[in-house]
Amino acid sequence: MKKNIPSLNGSELRPEYDFSSMKGGIRGKHVDRLRKASNIVLLEPEVAQAFPNSQAVNQALRGILNRRTGKPGNRTIRRAPPKRK
């Protein structure tokens, strides 16, 4: 059984969503706290293409950090291909 729901375009809100009568709302009230708590980095498009996911980015950054500090880390060990006879 389908409900008869009227279609609304982007500029119309239903009466139950009328926020004009609400008082005390402050726009951006929590934005400073969010900026301090989050660590979002935007990559340039060509850099983002080189990393398929966040795990790949983290692995690359850990490798850079480990080289600076001299600590062994999650480095990929490349082995020489087997010699042909």
Report the amino acid identity of residue 36: K
The boundaries of the domain holding residue 52 are 38-75
Structure tokens at 22: 């609400």
Q: What percent of the chain stands above pLDDT 90?
A: 24
4 is a domain residue: no
Residue 30 vs residue 11, higher pLDDT:
30
Three-state SS sequence of 41-63:
CCCCHHHHHHCCCHHHHHHHHHH
Query: Tens of pLDDT along 35-60?
Result: 888 888 888 999 999 998 989 999 99
What is the 8-class DSSP label of residue 81? P
84 is a domain residue: no
3 is a domain residue: no
Judge if pTM exceeds 0.75: no
Number of independent structural domains in the chain? 1
Structure tokens at 67: 């080289």
For the cut 60, the answer to whether the pLDDT of residue 66 exceeds it is yes
11 is a domain residue: no
